[in-house]
Amino acid sequence: MNGYEPPNIDARPSPDCRFVKSLAELDGLADPAIFATPTTEPPPKGKTPGRWKTLNSFVDFTLRNLTRAEGFVWLVLYRETKPDGTATASVGWLAEQIGANRSTVVRAIKRLKAVGLLAVVRRGSLRRGPSQYRVIPLAKRAGKGAK
């Protein structure tokens, strides 16, 4: 009506369009403090270094190469990540959170592990409780080997 045209929804940013000048800088986007070996002392209350930077790099460079279920599983686990860098969740709970079947979640976790976006810290069972995971924002090769 007034000459305004909405932006193209299908347009996706290329890896070099935002604040990254080269693909070599992708490794520097994730804050290494998040993935370091947990210490006995948690970070100061209210201070979680690099959370937004990690989430932004995942959304900008990795999410486009994942299925919907894989992206949802990663996001739910990321939200559940504690200051020590691990997230604890059962397959059933994850399935409930993302509105999918347990088998879909199992496939998503398997693929996330295969592309290097998820590491299993402790495998759960009926006696041991839910599994513990460590989420990683960037795949081993962003864009390659995925899908």
Phi, psi of 20 (to 5 degrees): -100, 125
Handedness of CA 5, 6, 10, 12 (dihedral sign): positive
Under CATH, to which class is 23-27+49-135 assigned?
mainly alpha
Under the banding of pLDDT at 50, 70 and 90, the label for residue 43 is: low
* pTM, rounded to two decimals: 0.62
- Phi, psi dihedrals of residue 118, rounded to the nearest 5°: -145, 135
78: left (phi over 0), alpha (psi -120 to 50) or beta: alpha
Tokens of 91: 């397959």
Q: Which residue has the tokens 């894989």?
A: 70
pLDDT one-digit tens code per residue, 54-70: 888 888 888 888 999 99
* pLDDT tens digits, 78-131: 999 888 888 999 999 999 999 999 999 999 999 999 999 999 998 888 888 898
* Domain edges within the chain: 23-27+49-135
pLDDT of residue 49: 66
